[in-house]
Amino acid sequence: MTTTAEVGRWAQLVREILMAQGRNQSWLAELTGIHPSNLSKWLNGKNHGAKKEPSLFERIQIAKALGVPVHHIWPETEHGS
């Protein structure tokens, strides 16, 4: 289970990567196929229903779009994927 601090950390990393690349959440949502409101809620630390964080598939999509390994954003996935 991911703690609130970990949610903040990965969300901050994603926001930093987007900023460094000159991209935004809309671009990421379009490229990954993740609904923009879901992505926004995750990156702003808000829950939406029972789904409080991206699934493994969505994590892979996010990392792939950003051009970084999944474990760069979610270290706990290093040995699991």
> How much of the chain exceeds pLDDT 70, in percent?
80
Give the model confidence (pLDDT) of 38-50 as tens digits.
999 999 887 656 5
- What phi and psi, each to the nearest 5 degrees, are found at residue 67? 75, 30
Give the model confidence (pLDDT) of 27-80 as tens digits.
999 999 999 999 999 998 876 565 678 999 999 999 999 999 999 999 887 665
Cα 1–51–15 angle (5° rounding)? 80
